[in-house]
Structure 1
Amino acid sequence: MNAIAVAGSLNALDAAWFTTILRDAGHTRATVTGVTLEPMPFRGAIADMAVVRLEYEASGDPGPTSLVAKIRGTTPVQAGMDAAMGLYEREARFYRELAGSVPVRTPRCLHVGDGTSTPLLLEDLGGLRMGDQMRGLALSDAERLMDVLADLHARFWESPVLEQDWILSPGEGAFAGMVAQLVGSGVGALRERYSDRAPAGVLDAVATAAPRWGEILERCAEGPRTLVHNDCRLDNVFFRADGEPVLVDWQVLARTRGTQDVGNLLAGSMDVEDLRASWEPLLRRYHDRLCGQGVRDYTWGECVRHYRQNILYPLGAGIALLGHLDIGDDRGLGDAIVLRALTHTADLDSLAAV
């Protein structure tokens, strides 16, 4: 893997800047005396990130000794995606306006910068267990995540909060257009790469459906609507010592069906055989908790049908990771996502549901 340097805009932030920001927000009364920045081992889709190590003077109550700084990336791909989809600003608004009201754990936000010269400063979760999408989602973790997602979705089920125009609608606009274009252009590569590995018939079904992928996305975004993370996959989850999930990367926060999160998580993160054995009891757990939190007029049959449709989402995301978007995939994650999603799509005959 090529070394990733710390962004110049982050290197420009000195101890005095961190002292002012942390004091003004009430996070410390001490003076920051030393700042060390360590690059993350990966580059985000639109952001550059670094771990910030802080030292304080001996007097006064010290603040956090490590933070994560997140700032807009400057590569052409990063800048283009952010300009087209407003990803950095959406995450910044989430932490300013919504993070305090969602019933799920998120990183504590210490500062929301402008994204160009000053960063988003978040709690460093480096001491927690990090989800590994390549390794796959364990059943016990999946069960906890079903509970967390049901709580989130029940809280915002058909909520007026969803009408805010900065919250993404994944079935329309630049986001949907980009995904539909990637699927359409990737069909040939899919056939070449997976002809001897994918379940029989599923590649033909995807090729037939590809020209109308925009319509499929619209169908998958039909109601009932709630607030969804919309990039809910194992790489975006940390786990506390007691197993409680912490969700990160809220750049594509959206209003759509709750099964968007459930389908994306399970079809993109769980190994094929585990998913075959577990998807139905996991979905049942999600639906039962959703109804237990007060959601009405949402039947089990509707939930299953919506799940069958929404597992098509990680398939499109996997195609993007296979090379259409140069965001760094040295692990071969795109390949794993596509195979998992293709197999689950075939198992549940998902394209017949749209």
Structure 2
Amino acid sequence: MTGDVRAPAAPAASGQAAVLGGGPGIVDDPAEITPAWMTDVLRAGGLDAEVTGVRFEPVGTGQTAVSYRFHLDGRGADGRGAPASLVVKMAAGAPDVRRRLRSAYRNEVGFYAYFAHRAAIRTPRCWYAAVSDDLLRFTLVLDDAYPAEAGSQLDGCSQARATIAVRNLAGLHAPFWNAENLSGEEGFGKDAPLGRDTAWPVRADERGMAYLGKVVTAAAAEFTERYREQLEPEDAETLLRAAALVSGWGRHTATRHSLIHGDYRLDNLLFTGDSDVQAVDWQTLEIGFPGRDLAYFLSTALAPAARRAQEVELVAAYHDQLVEYGVTGYSGADCFEDYRRGMLQGPLITMIGCVYASAPRTDSSDRMFLSMATNAARAIRDLGVLDLLSASA
């Protein structure tokens, strides 16, 4: 059985649907944001407050966009003042760079505008989301998650944090589990603002998977050559063989679908202790196989020994949360099998992200990519993924 979903429990509060266009306007420079601009954002979001002063500072190290923390001074009705701070994310770079990133900008704005309020995943409330007609400029205004801190791929995470992360992931997948017409309902189909050239969100077909296979095969050849001295020969062989299987991966992952994050890893998760987590960076959003997100997170976040000891329990925690949100006809055994079938996501995202990164190489980035790739390669071997996906569907 492929599973179905009942109406899930009420989602965690991530704010109402954001504005898509309109509002105070798209900004490309933080200096363009005035107290009046912020006041318009808050009032559009239902907060009767007036911002009287703003100051900002850069936050994060985004490679495809830039983010700023804005500190606000203000007053509000009924004792509700303006938030002490908000985060504003916007496009960056020259026009040719932005043209390559248009789909990423569309994905992130679209997630907050169309899906965040329907999902149960914890993510910062979005006050405002807008993208230009040519998809080269966008602006997001998000709740500031401070003092939450991003996870670290190099440091890994505890079992407690991994547990809240996989439960949070179920809150993305469950509300859209096997939903029909995800790329054509409620105004976000081919003729909608985010679907000018193609249906949105993207769902890779056989042709798309064949193209992706060529891209990752080329990336794997360069990646394994670049890190030839640091990679164990067995890991390098696993990465190359995994890349060769991507073009036919769709035959093994067509049984179910949902919205998937695509890059659900520690660096894109904001933790508050071991009790809360919020997911950010939605530029790789697509309709796809849910097991890809789960496999990618667990295979890259945990060192091999920790993953081997914890993965059965962690996959069960994810599955339990899906059931709690209303997914039916989907057993724990089905879920673990999907976890195995999703394992190509680790080498896929890691090697493409490394080889085609726009940011300069650093020692830190090299160590991060190597850690992710070797962890993923060992998970693939431990779980017999190459034999599983080499067999006919």
Q: Into which bin does the TM-score normalised by the smaller protein fall?
A: 0.7 to 0.9
Alignment gaps of 5+ in structure 2:
1-26, 185-198
Alignment of 1:107-122 (within 5 A): 107-114=124-131, 119-122=139-142
> Which of 1 and 2 has higher RCO (CA within 8 Å, sep 6+)?
2
Paired residue for 1:352?
A: 387
Pairing 1:141–2:161 present: yes
Q: 1:247 to 1:175 in 2, by over 3 A?
A: farther
Residue identity opposite 2:163 in structure 1 = E
What is the percent sequence identity of the aligned residues? 25
CA distance in 1, matches of 2:206, 2:56: 39
CA distance in 2, matches of 1:79, 1:126: 28
Residue identity opposite 1:313 in structure 2 = Q
Paired residue for 2:290?
A: 258
CA distance in 2, matches of 1:117, 1:211: 36
How far is the alpha carbon of 1:117 from its aligned partner? 6.0
* Counterpart pick for 1:295 among 314, 319, 327: 327
Paired residue for 1:62?
A: 81
Q: 1:144 to 1:205 in 2, by over 3 A?
A: closer
Q: Helix, strand or coil for the counterpart of 1:104?
A: coil
Q: Helix, strand or coil for the counterpart of 2:340?
A: helix
Residue identity opposite 2:72 in structure 1 = L
Q: 1:114 to 1:285 in 2, by over 3 A?
A: closer
Pairing 1:89–2:122 present: no
Alignment gaps of 5+ in structure 1:
1-6
TM-score relative to the length of structure 1:
0.84
CA distance in 2, matches of 1:199, 1:149: 33
How far is the alpha carbon of 1:72 from its aligned partner? 1.8
> Is the helix fraction higher in 1 or 2?
1
Structure 1, residues 14-41: CA drift from partner, whole Å, max 9, x if none?
22322333234333422x3322221224
The alignment's C-alpha RMSD in Å is 3.0
CA distance in 1, matches of 2:252, 2:126: 32
Q: 1:207 to 1:230 in 2, by over 3 A?
A: closer
How far is the alpha carbon of 1:353 from its aligned partner? 1.6
Q: Helix, strand or coil for the counterpart of 2:227?
A: helix
Residue identity opposite 2:281 in structure 1 = D
Paired residue for 1:160?
A: 180
Q: 1:176 to 1:42 in 2, by over 3 A?
A: farther
Structure 1, residues 298-344: CA drift from partner, whole Å, max 9, x if none?
34443333212212112121112333222456422212111111121
Kept in 2, the 8 Å contact 1:183–1:316? The answer is no
Q: 1:289 to 1:189 in 2, by over 3 A?
A: closer
Kept in 2, the 8 Å contact 1:199–1:342? The answer is no
Q: How many residues align?
A: 342
Q: 1:123 to 1:173 in 2, by over 3 A?
A: farther
Q: 1:100 to 1:185 in 2, by over 3 A?
A: closer
Structure 1, residues 267-296: CA drift from partner, whole Å, max 9, x if none?
121122211211122112323443454433
How far is the alpha carbon of 1:241 from its aligned partner? 5.1
